[in-house]
């Protein structure tokens, strides 16, 4: 059976229906939503209704990917009858005993409300990447090309700044969907475990699959 991998819907119900129709025409019998099925688009309710229908057809879990979608974790979970994993920030309550700190694409925007919605304890340290960096401009301005070498250096620099400012940080959480490729470089630079949305989904899926 073919599985259709669907991502970055961003509440665009019309586009989602077109993608689903194409997937069915190509013989897809299962669907995996890899991130951002709601967000800034025009039709979040219609997209959630479509996802509910897919759950009725057998989807067993749903994930989004942008770290800031933790803000809607409770609402999305309440709307859907299967586990919903919105953000790498869901690691924060799990790792609380290890004193986690966060590296984010936008330190000014990652406020207490987002952290609270993710279940984080008050005072979790947050370090944004440099706002003038090429990575920040590429992501926040939706530019078409990314310098991966410069991006890695930017994320590593932010992680080092986090650990220097809060030296008791025991584990680093990378908020942004685009940061997992730099996980190993951050771990080497900081000498600490590093988690992101990919490690979250793998861990949650393994736990789900292990249920009797």
Residues 6+ apart with CB under 8 A from 93: 118, 119, 120, 121
Q: 166-186 pLDDT, tens per residue? A: 999 999 999 998 999 999 999
What residues pair up with 3 in beta bridges, in sequence order?
A: 30
107 and 188 inside one domain: yes
Most confident of 62-71, 163-172, 203-212: 163-172
- pLDDT value of residue 162: 98
| Alpha helices, H only, the chain | 13-25, 44-56, 73-79, 91-94, 112-117, 134-140, 148-165, 183-190, 197-209
- From 1, 70, 78, 79, select the one nearest 35 (Cα to Cα): 70
Give this prediction's pTM: 0.81
Q: Give the helix/strand (H/E) hosting 191.
A: none
Q: 30-67 pLDDT, tens per residue? A: 666 655 665 555 566 776 777 777 777 777 788 877 89
Q: What secondary structure letter does DSSP report for 73? A: H
162 and 175 inside one domain: yes
Q: Residue 159 belongs to a domain with what CATH number?
A: 3.40.50.1860
8 and 98 inside one domain: no
For residue 146 the two structure tokens come to 């990314």
User: Does the structure show a pLDDT above 80 at 93?
Assistant: yes
| C-alpha to C-alpha distance for 165 and 14, rounded to whole angstroms | 46
93 and 122 inside one domain: yes
- pLDDT value of residue 149: 96
């Amino acid at each position: 059976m073919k599985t259709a991998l669907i991502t970055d819907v961003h509440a665009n119900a019309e586009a989602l229906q077109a993608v689903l129709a194409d997937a069915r025409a190509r013989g897809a019998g299962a669907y995996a939503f890899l991130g951002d099925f709601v967000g800034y688009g025009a039709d979040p309710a219609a997209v959630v209704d479509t996802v509910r229908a897919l759950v009725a057809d057998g989807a067993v879990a749903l994930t989004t990917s942008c770290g800031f979608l933790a803000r809607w974790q409770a609402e999305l979970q309440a709307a859907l009858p299967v586990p919903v994993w919105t953000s790498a920030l869901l690691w924060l309550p799990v790792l609380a005993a290890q004193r986690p700190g966060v590296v984010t694409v936008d330190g000014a925007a990652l406020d207490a409300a987002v952290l609270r919605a993710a279940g984080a304890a008050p005072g979790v340290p947050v370090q944004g990447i440099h706002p003038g960096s090429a990575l920040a401009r590429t992501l926040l301005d939706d530019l078409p090309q990314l310098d991966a070498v410069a991006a890695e250096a930017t994320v590593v620099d932010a992680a080092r700044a986090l650990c220097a400012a809060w030296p008791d940080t025991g584990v680093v959480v990378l908020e942004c969907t685009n940061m997992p490729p730099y996980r190993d470089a951050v771990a080497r630079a900081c000498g600490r475990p590093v988690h992101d949305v990919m490690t979250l989904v793998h861990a949650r899926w393994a736990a789900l699959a292990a249920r009797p």
